Amino acid sequence: MDYYAHTAKLPDGSPDLDRSHWQPLREHLLNVAGLAKQFAQEARPGDKQFIEAAYASGLLHDLGKYRPEFQRMIRGQQAKGESTRHKQAGAAEAVRMEPKHFDVCFSILGHHGGIPDKGDMAGAVKIGRLVAQAVLPEAWRDCPEMETALPREAVALRGLDFDIRARLIFSCLIDADWLDTSNFQLRSRGWAIPPVPVGLEAAALLQNVLAHVASLAKKCRSPEVARIRSEVLTAALKNGRQARGVFSMTVPTGGGKTLSALAFALQHAAEHGLRRIIYVAPYLSIIEQNASVFRAALGDAADNLILEHHSLAEPTEDGGPSTGDDAESEAAHRLAENWDLPVVITTNVQFFESLFSSRPARCRKLHNIARSVVLLDECQTLPQGLVSPTCEMLEQVANYLGASIVLCTATQPAWKRDPIRLPMGLSEITEIAPAPADLFRRLRRVRVSWPQVSDGAISWSETAAEMGHHTQILCVVNTRRAASELYRELAGLGCEAMHLSTNMCPAHRLRVLKDAAAALRNGGPCRVISTQLVEAGVDLDFPVVMREMAPLESIVQAAGRCNREGLLNTPAGDGGRVIVFRSRDGHMPRSNWYRNGAKIVEQDFLACGREPQIDDPSDLAEYYRRLYPTGNLDAHDIHAGRLSCDFPRVAVDFKIIDNVTVPLVVTSWAPIRQEVEDLLGELRRYRSRRAYRRLQMYTVNVYENDLRQVASACTMNDPPGVNTCCLPYDDELGLALTDAAVPVI
């Protein structure tokens, strides 16, 4: 019998009756093993046992396809069923060859559908032994390399070390399997295979960044701000030569944190031969802005270097493409991201949930996180209940994956390990910025008006009236409903205003941010109402900011949108005005962390007659010391799940956003309607990754359990991997959704 891994159609779409275009099984096994070995070498160079284990996972992963039932099934002579399953045999053989190689066993069992837990693994291995015994003689004859696939010695790892190693082998295997399958399918149809991505030329790109920073410095209107930014950049370049590890960059808003962090990353990558830079931020608004900043700084080649991976639907989690005539599965694979470009810009959800996932599509990119510089911007936004497992994982990303982590924020969350407060924190954190306390003092630009204990809450109409007294003002509120209600109140007063929330697609928000920035520069009217998405990292500069009562870090971030350039400063060192108010009509988000943080500001500071000093890092540190004990820092017991190899439970429980969201591509907004139709058509014809990436700019995320509210206006998975929505879209407020249907951020 001739053994095949995948079937195919002829380039004209007709059946390949003589099987001349089918992929031989031996070819697939050797290709996948070779790619997995290459990925393992790049992730952990010099770790011979790990590299051999990854190579063996590739050779053994489809051992069960030597089963006659499977070969009859792909020939159309037998239906799919228990007898055609193939993953168990390779897993059983891995354990037989070397009982310590459970990491290879987990990876092989997970390459369709996800890594199982320990109990399911044991049952699958028991089944797989019978299959392996039956097919091994024929398999060794066809592919003799399999007989000695695994080294006879294995590192006996336990606990978290085993967990991260198994995940990394799984990543190497999945990416190798999906890439080889995809390339085979493309060749069989006469389509071009995507070129190998360019590498990170860190030293050359650093020169581009430094030239760009120098040009911006000439335009800075405040000599003191320019001096501070220069000092931060100098410190970043100096510290970029330090050994790999975990760093913090504690720089107040306006101190040049983004470009200095990028310069550090490039200097550090050049110094240590690191492969890519991964920029991670909590909100799409930051990503949208800083992607533009990175492109301008990196120069003409930036478009070929940068990948923006946001929240468009992940590919179907069926283990990737299986046969050449499975168009939906192939399309899903072609839309998957493995983060193989030199600069990746992504969200907290994509980055952290990939580290903890058990699913092939998410885990696929893990080996490309290894030996990278990871810039975690506004890291204080992570949910309280995930702080401890996140710190544990970041420590492993630094130690086992050979990456360097940079915690970038003006409101540093104090993740240093503490036996009582944070026993699973980070062991060592090296500060990059020069004397953060001094930076905050020198960059003091605002005075904050805090509500007194005796002050009552104000209505949206009163808030709108206050905004109407100012030509340029930003008001940040806690929910989308509050933003839309306040916008309508202000419009009712005849005041021109702008609205920002996640009811709007990224392209719409970018347009509003651009219009607001232009109005602020030109001195024109600019009243903006926004949810907290505008707080962190968005480059707007208002003379007055109003902030609905919130956690201290949110108030500090909102204040960072006020007098950013210091042009309003007085001899006392301030000039901008921040007004914190209690709202009668508003509501707190559902997050306990958010509610607890606001309560600490009210009860532990204001009620005690103490107004927090937002430009004093010690007050922020005191705030976090009070905040951490208000909740369980490992609320879902992720640590125990990882220790017990319960990969599926860990994946389910580690969620940045409690409710799963579904991205809907907006099709009804006039300015983008034609481009969206063209991109959707392109995806239906060519499965274009360019089109897939571009559609991310036109999506609104909806909670999965609220989809029923909009289901009649949605088309799901057409083209595959894309969900569209034709609900009315307002030029000011965005998609016409209820408050419950869209995430707050």
Tens of pLDDT, residue by residue over 251-292, are 988 889 999 999 999 999 999 999 999 999 987 768 878 888
Q: What is the pairing mode between strands 526-530 and 246-250?
A: unpaired
Residue whose token pair is 């995940």: 167
What integer pLDDT is reported at residue 573 of this predicted model? Answer: 62
What integer is the mean pLDDT of 540-556? 95
Quick one: CA dihedral 475, 478, 479, 481, positive or negative? negative
What integer pLDDT is reported at residue 710 of this predicted model? Answer: 81
Residue whose token pair is 């915690």: 407
pLDDT digits 0-9 by tens, 206-228? 999 999 999 999 998 888 889 99
Alpha carbon 676 to chain centroid, angstroms? 24
d(CA 356, CA 17) in angstroms, rounded, equals 43
Residue 385 predicted with pLDDT over 50:
yes
Contact 193, 15 (CB under 8 A): no
Report the chain's terminal Cα–Cα distance, integer Å: 57
Q: What is the DSSP secondary structure assignment for residue 603, as one 8-state letter?
A: I
pLDDT digits 0-9 by tens, 327-378? 433 433 443 478 989 999 998 989 998 999 999 989 999 999 999 999 999 8
What integer is the mean pLDDT of 535-554? 91
Token digits of residue 711: 């289901």
pLDDT digits 0-9 by tens, 617-668? 889 989 988 998 888 999 999 999 999 999 999 999 998 876 667 889 999 9
Rounded to the nearest integer, the mean pLDDT of the chain is 89
pLDDT above 90 as % of the chain: 64
What integer is the mean pLDDT of 375-394? 91
732 CB contacts (<8 Å, ≥6 apart)? Answer: 487, 498, 499
| pTM for the predicted model, two decimal places | 0.85
What integer pLDDT is reported at residue 333 of this predicted model? Answer: 42
What integer pLDDT is reported at residue 323 of this predicted model? Answer: 35
Tell whether omega for the bond before 663 is within 30 degrees of 0, i.e. cis: no
2 CB contacts (<8 Å, ≥6 apart)? Answer: 19, 24
DSSP 516-530: HHHHHHHT--EEEEE
**Three-state SS across 32-99?**
HHHHHHHHHHHHCCCCHHHHHHHHHHHHHCCHHHHCHHHHHHHCCCCCCCHHHCCHHHHHHHHHHHCC
Phi and psi angles of residue 416, each rounded to the nearest 5 degrees, phi first: -65, 140
d(CA 614, CA 607) in angstroms, rounded, equals 17
d(CA 313, CA 721) in angstroms, rounded, equals 6
What integer pLDDT is reported at residue 84 of this predicted model? Answer: 83
410 CB contacts (<8 Å, ≥6 apart)? Answer: 250, 251, 252, 253, 255, 257, 556, 557, 560
Residue 242 predicted with pLDDT over 70:
yes
Nearest to 558 by CA among 574, 575, 580, 573: 580
pLDDT digits 0-9 by tens, 427-438? 999 999 999 889
What integer pLDDT is reported at residue 659 of this predicted model? Answer: 64
H/E segment holding residue 714:
strand 714-715
Contact 372, 276 (CB under 8 A): yes
What integer pLDDT is reported at residue 572 of this predicted model? Answer: 63
What integer pLDDT is reported at residue 31 of this predicted model? Answer: 98
Confidence of residue 159 (pLDDT cuts 50, 70, 90): confident
pLDDT above 70 as % of the chain: 93
What integer pLDDT is reported at residue 190 of this predicted model? Answer: 80
Q: What is the CATH number of domain 444-614?
A: 3.40.50.300
What integer pLDDT is reported at residue 311 of this predicted model? Answer: 55
What integer pLDDT is reported at residue 310 of this predicted model? Answer: 67
Contact 359, 651 (CB under 8 A): yes
Nearest to 650 by CA among 424, 400, 456, 363: 363
d(CA 137, CA 89) in angstroms, rounded, equals 13
Least confident of 96-110, 183-197, 513-527, 639-653: 183-197
Least confident of 105-114, 318-327, 622-631: 318-327
What integer pLDDT is reported at residue 288 of this predicted model? Answer: 76
Nearest to 267 by CA among 188, 334, 204, 355: 204
Q: How many CA atoms lie within 13 A of 32 on its CB side?
A: 33
Burial of 420 (0-12, 13-18, 19+ CB in 10 A): exposed
Residue 105 predicted with pLDDT over 90:
yes
Q: How crowded is residue 708: how many other Cβ atoms within 10 Å of its Cβ?
A: 9
Token digits of residue 532: 């907290």
242-312+339-440 under CATH 3.10.20.30, yes or no: no
pLDDT digits 0-9 by tens, 557-587? 899 999 988 888 876 667 899 999 999 998 8
Q: Give the type of residue at 162.
A: F
How big is the chain, counted in residues?
745
What integer pLDDT is reported at residue 570 of this predicted model? Answer: 74
Using DSSP's 3-state secondary structure scheme, residue 701 falls into strand
What integer is the mean pLDDT of 58-84? 92
What integer is the mean pLDDT of 672-691? 88
Q: What is the pairing mode between strands 661-666 and 246-250?
A: unpaired
Alpha carbon separation from 191 to 11, 520, 643 (Å, rounded) = 8, 49, 45
Q: How crowded is residue 18: how many other Cβ atoms within 10 Å of its Cβ?
A: 8
Alpha carbon separation from 499 to 476, 491, 520, 587 (Å, rounded) = 10, 11, 15, 18
DSSP 461-488: HHHHHHHHT-SEEEEE-SSHHHHHHHHH
pLDDT digits 0-9 by tens, 498-516? 999 989 998 999 899 999 9
Token digits of residue 685: 């014809």
Q: What is the DSSP secondary structure assignment for residue 219, as one 8-state letter?
A: H
What integer pLDDT is reported at residue 565 of this predicted model? Answer: 80
Using DSSP's 3-state secondary structure scheme, residue 362 falls into helix
What integer is the mean pLDDT of 717-729? 89
Residue 443 predicted with pLDDT over 90:
no
Least confident of 598-602, 651-655, 700-704: 700-704
Contact 575, 541 (CB under 8 A): no
